[in-house]
A and B are shown apart, each in its own frame.
Chain A
Amino acid sequence: MTKSIEVQQDASPIINRKAIKSYALQESAIVKWSLITISLLFLALFLILPLITIFVTALEKGWATYVASITHPDALAAIKLTLTVVLIVVPLNTIFGVAAAWVITKFNFKGRNLLITLIDLPFAVSPVIAGLIFILLFGAQGLFGEWLYQHDIRIVFALPGIILATIFVTFPFVARELIPLMQMQGVTEEEASMSLGASGFKTFWLVTLPNIKWGLLYGIILCNARTIGEFGAVSVVSGHIRGLTNTMPLHIEILYNEYQFTAAFAVASLMSILAIITIVIKNIIEWKAKEV
């Protein structure tokens, strides 16, 4: 009985494919190529042409102007500040992401789903509001404003404010990549490692980490890209002090608003190159993860 069904299941798709082929199972060539053309045109108008515009405008006035724009002291200060922010924010959110994913996927406790929702919360908040909340906390009229002023600590309109706002905006990225992945992997391998006598740290390092490395890297890449490019939140808390609290996106904004288009696009082209590198790394990770 079961055998005959199996044979049927194996045989029928082959007959189907040969018998009905083309128009019942596939679109005609006209439909196919129209859909491909529509897709390519849409992507050209919305994604590819803007990318080309950036590089063409950046190099419009020649290589020398381009180099001068990106080596201007204000531009260099902006690049340095953005790097500083990345070096602080990305590791902090990575550690948090791993810890949160660990507690959510390896244990059962009350309020687990609520915790997942709360971690996703920053995605539902406008970047401008993300900046505003730190002004309300640490600004001159804010909750801790008076105290901070008396102790001469600057948070808003300084580096700590930029870092806090960026952490808020990029908060869910790593945790979000890890939670579904670690959920799928379950706890059996960790339990085996623990019962064989490995320490908790050793179990994480030798069992969990190798299993999640591609997902983790993926989350870090996304977190990194957003950290470099965050504009709205940083714009609110930075105070736009040239050479001091201007990150790369803010520097681009100032140049653009001063009609220094070539210089603005020169810095923008640097950020576009970073974006392209991000996409390439992302694809390598996806390819590697599939291989494993």
Chain B
Amino acid sequence: MELTLKKRKKKTIIPGFSLTLGYTMIYLSIIVLLPLSMIFFNTLSMSWSEFYETITHPRAVASYKLTLGTALAAGIINVVFGTIIAWVLIRYDFPGKKLVDGIVDLPFALPTAVAGIALATLYSPNGWIGQFFDFKIAYSPLGIIIALTFIGLPFVVRTVQPVLQNLSSEVEEASASLGANRVQTFLKVIFPELLPAMITGFSLAFARSLGEYGSIVFIAGNIPMKTEITPLIIMTKLEQYDYVGATAIATVMLVASFLFLFIINIIQWYTNRKFNQY
């Protein structure tokens, strides 16, 4: 610390280092670090068997599978359609394009609870869309996937869009003049450039989906073992004043989220390296 401070004094005349660093650290510690450490602190006070029993309870395990499965499904749907939408918005002109581009941000701006009740009404058996299907969409895992697709879409569109925008047309022209057809050019030239952005968009949407609560509770039906997501298990335990149980499940979720972000960072690093070799 001493050393870095000395170095800094030689290098810069910009003021406010101690003030802003101190303020940032204090605010970060009070709001994020101290409260978040409570999860691990409280978990440590549990016995191993108690912890293990809580987190491997069949209802909890069913919720992990449901949360992971629906988040994965919604992530894949969003990568496919989000990339198509980004492509259409960058490459084509059509009437109302500006409006379409704006509406993509709706899930960022609309409160999750509002999205939740709107989707539940729309996709319920008597809803505008739900009535056309023989099977249930709302109050089944399908409903959860729909809510997560809503929440995650802008993450993919907004990460792929700038990459597509900055793609130089020369590479495509080179590919075409060397005799590749459009499909080949897309698969061999454009797609590898888009892939890192698609992975980033997927992981942002997926990470958000793992913890999502507001948009799901209304459309899921919340039937234990069937349509009960992990955040809802925490909620239920809290309502029963089972703070210990809630904390144990929260630990699993936190560890899973951090592990996922770690893996994504590795994949990201690997794809960047692989495709930027030349």
Contacts and interface: CB of A to CB of B under 8 A. Distances in A.
B111 A271 contact: yes
A136 B33 contact: no
Contacts of B210: 126
B36 A132 contact: no
B232 to A, nearest CB: 8
B218 A256 contact: yes
B114 A229 contact: yes
A122 B100 CA distance: 30
Contact of B34 (A108, A137, A256, A280): A137
Contact of A20 (B17, B106, B176, B258): B176
A231 B81 contact: no
A128 to B, nearest CB: 4
Nearest to A199: B15
A168 interface: yes
Given A16-B173, A103-B21, A275-B106, A125 B13 contact: no
- Determine the interface band of chain B, counting residues with CB < 8 A from chain A: 35 or more
Main secondary structure of the interface of B (DSSP, over half): helix
Interface of B: 1, 4, 7-8, 11-17, 19-21, 23-24, 27-28, 31-36, 38-39, 42, 81, 84-85, 87-89, 92, 94, 100, 102-115, 117-119, 121-122, 127-129, 146, 149-150, 153, 169-170, 172-173, 176-177, 180-182, 185, 207-208, 210-214, 218, 231, 234-235, 238, 243, 246-247, 250, 253-254, 257-258, 261
B211 A107 contact: no
14 contacts: A23-B182, A39-B88, A43-B100, A49-B129, A57-B121, A115-B28, A121-B32, A132-B238, A135-B243, A136-B39, A252-B117, A253-B113, A268-B117, A279-B102
Contacts of B84: 35, 38-39, 42
Nearest to A117: B261
Interface in A107-159: 107-110, 115, 118-119, 121-129, 132-137, 139, 141-143
A135 B110 contact: no
B20 A133 contact: no
A28 to B, nearest CB: 8
B8 A26 contact: no
Contacts of B106: 47, 51, 275, 279
Interface string A212-232: 000000000010010011111
Nearest to B258: A124
Nearest to B260: A124
B114 A249 contact: yes
What 6 pairs across the A-B complex have the smallest Cβ distances? A229-B111, A126-B211, A231-B214, A200-B15, A232-B213, A24-B176
B207 A123 contact: yes
Contact of B109 (A13, A23, A26, A225): A225
A24 B38 contact: no
B39 A133 contact: yes
Given A47-B150, A49-B128, A190-B14, A128 B211 contact: yes
Contacts of A84: none
B109 A129 contact: no
A118 B26 CA distance: 13
A119 B87 CA distance: 32
